């Protein structure tokens, strides 16, 4: 046991790798030396020049070394729904997927709307999680959409941003004041853009396919109307705003105009919406019931096309563990959500293998961009940065067996999917927390 | 008296979950077999022994009088033991899930389960968990295949054919499983299908079903051979989808005047139960052009044909 711990504390040389550092647009062959929890150097020929005694030398031939991923949107059940997921199990899933920082959502029980609960989550994570965990706090008390939370105190306690999770704040006045007030603390507001009245009974994308399945649809306007409103409020208030999960082509037009106007607006898309479409629902597969719903193929293609130019800034997992009891139901009655933290990178590599994205673009949207937006120190291999590093084989073929997933729930949309590319080592703060053998 | 059906038709699948997925040959085979049962049902001796020893379970999560009675009679006339289970007496009310119910029922070794459920896809979900054949007796807004088959049989017997006919389906298309199953079946058999409804009761993408959509009864019924009215569910009647029963009835209720827009020999259908005076006037419902009672008669024959055709898949059949 002691040996193991010693080995993990030893310096690590990741040798003969393809180094990709999206924070510097760097894609070179070389070595990365990690010691004392930080990155010492990332360049060609470190190994040849000699490394400190006791260094663990890992041959990374054929593998990519990159900054650990930052997952900007993950729903975790702790506190209150530990049967779905705990910070510990989520962190193990994250480590296996190359995610070294989880940004968890405030829809816990109780809701993360009080500095003491932020403190609880941070302590719990410190004691049980093997990757970094940062909570977002609720934007409104109890996520009820009526009164803003203690944004200043919550931020001081460690809340990374403010959001009502998968709920939209429908009251424009509440949103306006929250944006205005948050601006005094330079706090980021992250918003789920889905008008609940337009969603109504809708459970999948509105259109032919929903009509054929006899399911009620969610129009794209449910998203664009809310996004458009928010853009006007950001214009009015000068606040800092992030659209939590965009799904359709029309939203990209709204986003493009907002960015062209110079507003402080950024946006995410989930890995699900970038790699799947409504047809994947097939015969009522509830694991593909998501909120917002999977859209049409041309929406998916347009979202993917928005990653390269940086219109969509961030790719996140939208990790949402749901157990059998909430998923083994008729489609309309099943809970929305899919797990994804462990498969985010692998699924994203589909877009690289298909030629739609370059590897560095994919990694940027999963590491350096979220780091910039959230003000986190990770997402880079610069000397002196925290040693949150992953090694992955971009080509390794495998078939996903849900029983091997680390998450407590197995509601993966990639159930038995053929995948290509896999994380082989995850290092958090200089310690190896996951190894694939 | 020879009462065994002459047709040796076997359905290409173990379950009947929808019209979607049935081939033209499947549909015609079922209709032909149904025709034989119509004749049988008009005899004094109506029983056959095809399903003797078999157990048929009618599992209804949604209240139904005629469909359940129709399946029950069909099963009994084929010699099966029929058990009716309805939601008011089942343990679903005690929190048991649909799948638990399926697994429990399956352990009792039924041969065929007929299921009606309020959620689209629920019957398919249940079918995946049982070993016997499953018949969809209506799932949410998705499909109601035996209704579409009995409608087709009714039309075919009166018009002699279905190909080339213009069929106007009117009313709440959005929530109607009857409409979906009928659109698919009638298209497969070469009819020209129109849907007539206020735009709030038409699903997005309906034009992709190969139908013409209109919100005007005069336009929709012009030249129609068949006018098929749908039931408007009470909870949809005010406020959210249409302003009022009165306004809906004014524009879409089938009375003698609106029926006059159709061909003079047009026939009127309704899957029942009817809201008289709302989607259909009594004078039309009970008039000379109405096929509504024929539909009920054809219903039993079609369900016998479906049971018979599926039973030919059962072990030891």
Grade residue A366 by pLDDT with cuts at 50, 70 and 90.
Answer: very high
Instruction: Say what the pLDDT of residue B317 is.
Output: 62
- Any idea what the Cα angle at residue B180 is, between residues B174 and B181, rounded to 5°? 155
pTM above 0.90?
yes
Cβ–Cβ below 8 Å for B206 and A211: yes
User: Is B308 in the A-facing interface, judged by CB distances under 8 Å?
Assistant: no
Chains A and B form CB pairs within 8 A to the count of: 73
Collect all residues with Cβ–Cβ distance below 8 Å to B209 and sequence separation of at least 6.
A208, A211, A212, B183, B184, B187, B193
Lowest mean pLDDT among B45-54, B136-145, B148-157: B45-54
How far, in Å, CA of A7 to CA of A19, rounded?
Answer: 23
Query: Average pLDDT in the B12-17 region?
Result: 93
SS3 content of chain A, % helix, strand, coil (to 5): 35, 25, 40
Q: What is the tens place of the pLDDT at every residue in A342-365? A: 999 999 999 999 999 999 999 999
Q: How far apart are CA B264 and CA B258, in angstroms?
A: 12
User: Do B254 and B169 contact (CB within 8 A), yes or no?
Assistant: no
Task: Please report the pLDDT score of residue B38 as a whole number.
Answer: 97
Cβ-Cβ contacts under 8 Å, A325 against chain B = 97
In DSSP terms, A204 is beta-bridged to: A217
Between A2 and A25, residue with greater pLDDT = A25
Most A CBs within 10 Å: which of B13, B59, B203, as the mutation test of the A interface?
B203
* 3-state SS string for A186-207: CCEEEECCCCHHHHCCCCEECC
Per-residue H/E/C for B177-227? HHHHHHHHHHHHCCCEEEEECCHHHCCCCHHHHCCEEECCHHHHHCCCCEE
Q: What average pLDDT does this structure show over B275-283? A: 96
Could you tell me the maximum CA-CA distance found in chain A, to the nearest angstrom? 67
Give the mean model confidence (pLDDT) for residues A262-282: 98
Q: Choose the closest CB to A215 out of B99, B120, B125.
A: B120
| Cα A285 to Cα B220: distance, rounded to the nearest angstrom | 36
Token pair in block for residue A324:
């059998």
Interface of B with A in 206-225 (CB under 8 A): 206, 208-209
Average pLDDT of the residues of chain A: 96
Of the partner residues A211, A328, A332, the one whose CB lies closest to the CB of residue B97 = A328
Flag if B177 and A211 touch (Cβ within 8 Å): no
Q: What is the mean pLDDT of residues B56-80?
A: 95
Distance CA A131, CA A176 (A): 35
Min distance B137 CA to chain A CA atoms (Å):
15
Question: How much is the pLDDT for A237?
Answer: 97
Give the least confident one: A207-216, A322-331, B200-209, B229-238: B229-238
Query: Does pLDDT of A264 surpass 80?
Result: yes
- CA nearest A330 in B: which residue? B122
B205, A328: Cβ pair inside 8 Å? no
Interface test with A, best of B119, B123, B148, B230 (most A CBs within 10 A): B119
**What local confidence, expressed as pLDDT, does residue A5 receive?**
42
Shortest distance, CA B119 to any CA of chain A (angstroms):
6
Structure confidence at residue B315 (pLDDT): 75
**Structure-block tokens of residue B284:** 């039309």
Task: Determine the pLDDT at residue B60.
Answer: 93
A288 contacts in B (CB within 8 Å)? none
Mean pLDDT score of chain B: 93
Q: Omega into A79 within 30° of 0, i.e. cis? A: yes
Beta strand A12-21 with A26-35 is antiparallel
> Confidence class of residue A6 from pLDDT cuts 50, 70 and 90?
very low
pLDDT score, position B69:
96
Q: What is the pLDDT of residue A4?
A: 43
Instruction: Tell me what the mean pLDDT of segment A137-164 comes to.
Output: 98
Q: Which of A71, A164, A195, A318 is catalytic?
A: A318
Percentage of chain B beyond pLDDT 70 is 94
Q: How confident is the model at residue A378, as a pLDDT?
A: 95
Query: Which residues in A have their CB inside 8 Å of a CB on B?
Result: 206-217, 219, 283-284, 325, 328-333
**Model confidence at B88, in pLDDT bands (50, 70, 90)?**
low
Q: B129, B183, B205: which to substitute to probe chain A, counting the most A Cβ within 10 Å?
A: B205
**Tell me, what's the pLDDT at B92?**
59
Using CA atoms, how far apart are residues A93 and A339, in angstroms rounded to an integer?
10
Q: Is A318 a catalytic residue?
A: yes
* Burial bucket for residue A314 (CB in 10 Å: 0-12, 13-18, 19+): buried
Distance CA A258, CA A232 (A): 9
CA distances from residue A25 to A14, A20, A21, A312, B111 in whole angstroms, order as listed:
19, 8, 6, 18, 65
Query: Which residue of A lies nearest to B206 if distances are taken between CA atoms?
Result: A208
pLDDT in tens, B195-227: 999 999 999 999 999 999 999 999 999 999 999
CA distance A117 to A143: 14
Looking at the partner chain, which of A207, A208, A330 has a beta carbon nearest the beta carbon of B119? A330
| Minimum Cα–Cα distance from A209: chain B residue | B205
CA–CA gap between residue A73 and residue A106 (Å, rounded) = 10
Measured CA to CA, the distance from residue A234 to residue A228 in angstroms comes to: 10
The residue among A216, A287, A288, A330 with the most chain B CBs within 10 A of its CB, best to mutate, is: A330
pLDDT score recorded for residue B90: 57
Q: What phi and psi values does residue B213 have, to the nearest 5 degrees? A: -110, 135
pLDDT band, residue A329 (cuts 50/70/90): very high
Residue B231: phi, psi to the nearest 5? Answer: -75, 135
Both structure tokens of A4: 């193991």
Q: Tell me, what's the ipTM?
A: 0.91
- Assign B1 a pLDDT band (cuts: 50, 70, 90): very low
| Calpha distance A205→A211 (Å, rounded) | 10
CB contact residues (below 8 A), chain B span 113-142, against chain A: 117, 119-122, 124-125, 139-142
Please report which confidence band the pLDDT of residue A3 belongs to, taking 50, 70 and 90 as the band edges: very low
CA distance, residue A241 to nearest chain B CA (Å): 32
Q: CA-CA-CA-CA torsion for B137, B141, B143, B149, nearest 10 degrees? A: 80
| List of chain A residues whose C-beta atoms are within 8 Å of the C-beta of residue B117 | 330
Q: Considering only CB atoms, which chain A residues are within 8 Å of B142?
A: 213-215
């Amino acid at each position: 046991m002691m040996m193991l711990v010693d080995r993990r504390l030893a310096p690590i040389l990741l040798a003969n790798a393809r180094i990709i550092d999206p924070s510097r647009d760097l894609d070179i062959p070389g070595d990365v030396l990690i010691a004392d929890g930080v990155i010492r150097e990332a360049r060609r020929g470190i190994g040849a020049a000699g490394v400190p005694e006791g260094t663990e030398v890992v041959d990374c031939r054929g593998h990519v070394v990159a900054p650990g991923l930052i997952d900007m949107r993950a729903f975790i059940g702790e506190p209150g729904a530990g049967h779905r997921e705990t910070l510990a199990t989520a962190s193990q899933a994250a480590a296996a997927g190359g995610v070294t920082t989880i940004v968890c959502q405030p829809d816990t029980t109780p809701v993360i709307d009080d500095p003491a609960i932020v403190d609880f989550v941070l302590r719990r994570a410190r004691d049980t999680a093997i990757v970094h965990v940062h909570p977002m706090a609720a934007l409104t008390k109890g996520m009820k959409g009526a009164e803003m939370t203690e944004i200043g105190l919550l931020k001081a306690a460690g809340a990374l941003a403010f959001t009502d999770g998968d709920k939209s704040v429908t009251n424009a006045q509440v949103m306006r004041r929250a944006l205005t007030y948050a601006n005094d603390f330079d706090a980021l507001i992250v918003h789920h853009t889905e008008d609940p009245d337009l969603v109504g009974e809708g459970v999948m994308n509105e259109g032919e396919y929903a009509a054929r399945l006899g399911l009620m649809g969610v129009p794209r306007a449910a998203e664009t109307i809310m996004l458009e409103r928010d853009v006007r409020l950001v214009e009015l208030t000068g606040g800092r705003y992030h659209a939590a999960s965009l799904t359709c082509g029309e939203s990209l037009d709204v986003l493009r105009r907002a960015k062209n106007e110079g507003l402080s607006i950024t946006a995410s898309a989930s890995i699900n919406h970038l790699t799947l479409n409504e047809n994947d629902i097939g015969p009522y597969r509830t694991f593909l019931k998501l909120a917002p719903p999977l859209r049409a193929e041309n929406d998916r293609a347009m979202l993917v096309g928005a990653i390269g130019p940086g219109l969509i800034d961030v790719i996140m997992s939208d990790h949402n563990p749901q157990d059998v009891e909430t998923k083994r139901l008729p489609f309309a009655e099943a809970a929305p959500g899919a797990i994804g933290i462990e498969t985010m990178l692998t699924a994203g590599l589909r877009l690289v293998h298909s030629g739609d994205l370059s590897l560095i673009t994919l990694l940027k949207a999963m590491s350096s961009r979220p780091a910039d937006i959230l003000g986190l120190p990770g997402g880079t291999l610069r000397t002196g940065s925290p040693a949150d590093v992953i090694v992955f084989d971009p080509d390794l073929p495998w078939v996903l067996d849900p029983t091997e997933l680390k998450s407590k729930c197995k509601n993966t949309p990639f159930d038995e999917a053929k995948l290509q590319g896999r994380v082989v080592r995850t290092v958090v703060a200089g310690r190896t927390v996951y190894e694939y053998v | 008296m020879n009462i065994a059906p002459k047709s040796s038709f076997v359905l290409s699948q173990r379950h009947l979950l929808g019209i979607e997925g049935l081939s033209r040959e499947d549909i015609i085979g079922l209709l032909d077999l149904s025709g034989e049962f119509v004749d049988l049902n008009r005899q004094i001796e109506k029983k056959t022994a095809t399903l003797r020893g078999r157990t048929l379970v009618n599992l209804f999560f949604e209240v139904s009088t005629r469909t359940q009675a129709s399946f029950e009679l069909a099963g009994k006339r084929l010699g099966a033991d029929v058990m009716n289970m309805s939601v008011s007496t089942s343990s679903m009310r005690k929190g048991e899930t649909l799948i638990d119910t399926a697994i429990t029922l399956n352990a009792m070794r039924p041969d065929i389960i007929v299921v009606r459920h309020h959620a689209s896809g629920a019957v398919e979900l249940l079918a995946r968990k049982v070993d016997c054949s499953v018949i969809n007796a209506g799932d949410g807004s998705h499909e109601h295949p035996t209704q579409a088959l009995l409608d087709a049989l009714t039309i075919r017997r009166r018009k002699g054919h279905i190909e080339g006919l213009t069929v106007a389906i009117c009313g709440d298309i959005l929530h109607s499983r009857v409409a979906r199953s009928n659109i698919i079946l009638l298209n497969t058999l070469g009819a020209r299908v129109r849907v007539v409804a206020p735009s709030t009761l038409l699903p997005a993408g309906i034009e992709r079903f190969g139908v013409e959509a209109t919100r005007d009864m005069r336009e929709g019924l012009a030249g129609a051979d068949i006018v098929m009215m749908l039931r408007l569910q009470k909870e949809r009647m005010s406020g959210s989808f249409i302003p009022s029963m009165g306004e809906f009835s004014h524009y879409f209720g089938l009375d003698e005047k609106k029926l006059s827009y159709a061909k003079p020999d047009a026939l009127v259908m309704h899957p029942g139960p009817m809201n008289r005076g709302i989607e259909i006037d009594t004078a039309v419902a009970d008039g000379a052009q109405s096929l509504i009672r024929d539909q009920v008669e054809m219903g039993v024959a079609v369900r016998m044909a479906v049971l018979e055709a599926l039973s030919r898949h059962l072990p030891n059949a």
